[in-house]
Chains A and B, each alone.
Chain A
Amino acid sequence: MTPQAEIQLIASIVAVACALPGVFLILRRVALMSDAISHSILLGIAVGFLFTGSTSHPLLVALATASGILTVSLVEGLINTRRVKEDAAIGLVFPVLFSIGVILISRYAGDVHLDVDAVLLGELAFAPFNRMAFFGLNLPQGVWVMGGILLLNLLLIGLFYKELKLATFDAGLAAALGFSPVLLHYGLMTVVSVTAVGAFDHVGSILVVALMIAPPASAYLLTNSLPRMLGLSALYGVAAAIGGYWLARTLDANIAGAMATMTGVFFLLTLLFAPEQGLIARALQRQRRRQRFAVEMLLVHLSRHENEPEAGTENSLAHLVEELKWQPDFAQSTVRSAQEEVFVERQNGLLLLTEEGRQVASRVLQR
């Protein structure tokens, strides 16, 4: 495999590994927890580095995961004091843990790989240099590590899918049935922490947040089914990873930064063009409803004046414009669409209801 292909492979694996737990973060409305965790794991990494003097020791992963869990419990502890709301609690906890990590690194870790740029954006471009061979396959270490984490996420979410779904939708019932929502919450947060720790090394904390939130948020606009939301999130993640790689190539820019940008671009496109929930679809629906209502108003008006002696004047177009307070253009187009549906006919400048139009009018009045 070429280094280019390897970078895209690692990024795609990271994207799917992040998107799957991200779906549950979005549905549980704790999306910002990914931001908190992906930053505060730096504390665990820094402490682990001080103990072991290595940046790839397994202890680092354990400590980093532990600082992710610490973040979650500190945030929840703060919320439980009922003096701080959830968003503020998240904003209070992770900058403190993150900056302790930054201080430790800048004070003790000098010029090793752990510099602050790498923390925020990672350095995907170097990933192919660090290689490991397993089963006779010589691949970048990132493929093995993130592949392992992806498998773990698939396995856990697959096994506990029913429990996670129930605890996310209705924590009260989950607890009553004996599926501890607290246990499931911390389980999910551990998965998020482990994923963030693994991904962090390759893509930095910003891309971890982008990959956990934007693909599920995009998928949520396209589907009403949880399994499909999981699948689409994974696809969105892969698309952003590959699209971002080529954007970075074109612009000669940081790869992780370009990928994070692409998650935003894909979200924006979905927000605009999603077939049912997109902004454009919504605007069209509103427009259609307005048209529909105007036609119904016209029919009701005509039917009410149909049998009166002054029907002649009431039902002229000019009079309608005045009576219903419509702009002339709008009146014209409404009459035209009523004519197209054969609800009204024009005779000698007067508007007459057809039989069908009369039926529609009486149905509307009965609503």
Chain B
Amino acid sequence: MNIVVPIKLVPDLVEELEIDDDGTDLDRDFLSLRINEFCDHALEEALQLKDAHGATVTVLALDGDETDKVLYTALAKGADRAIKITGIDGAATSRQTANAVANALEGIDYDLVLTGVQAADDRDGQLPVLLASRLGIPHVSVVSEVAIDGDAIHIKKEYAGGVTATLRAKPRVVLGVQAARETPRYAPVSRVRQIMKEAELDEVEAGDVGAGATSSVRRMFTPDKGEGAEMIEGDADAIAAKLAEILNAKRS
């Protein structure tokens, strides 16, 4: 089975996010990008399927800062091929990203697409369903387990409260992965360095990524901190004493 994993890079949410002078987008000059955590899970699930069934795994990502590192890391983890989609950058909307990935898939033989169910910057929708709808193939979102049985793909879809549905799909299908069956594996830096020397990243042109019907952002802002928490300061012991007082008052 040929599995494709489109990977989104997103701003590292641990870092401070700045809004640009227009007030309608992030200031992208100093953004530190990393792999979308759900895409990391999608990659892990693809590699698990490869380990169990001998699939080939191809990773794709839009060209931009950190893209090479993320793709080489995926190769170091066990992906077979990595493709950089050029001519479009990380500021692309989800819909443009879906179109770019769909264009890239035209030249690839694939059965199954696994990608992150969502990303922190999906203002105009999540990639899996945008991509599947553009490709005209089925999709399942919020997937936590994938199993291959001959020509059938068994999928676990999560609902609220721990309820899950099992669905069966035939290739081709796009799955929005919520969580892999195992914590995403780690690639040692030495292995990534070695791969960077040995392996090559393929490149394809994004092609026409026409935005389709879209909305415009009139304002981007940080939430009002006015009604936030009352912060408790001091050394650890003083804080613990104050918290114990608050908690005991609530318990009594």
Indicate whether A and B interact.
no
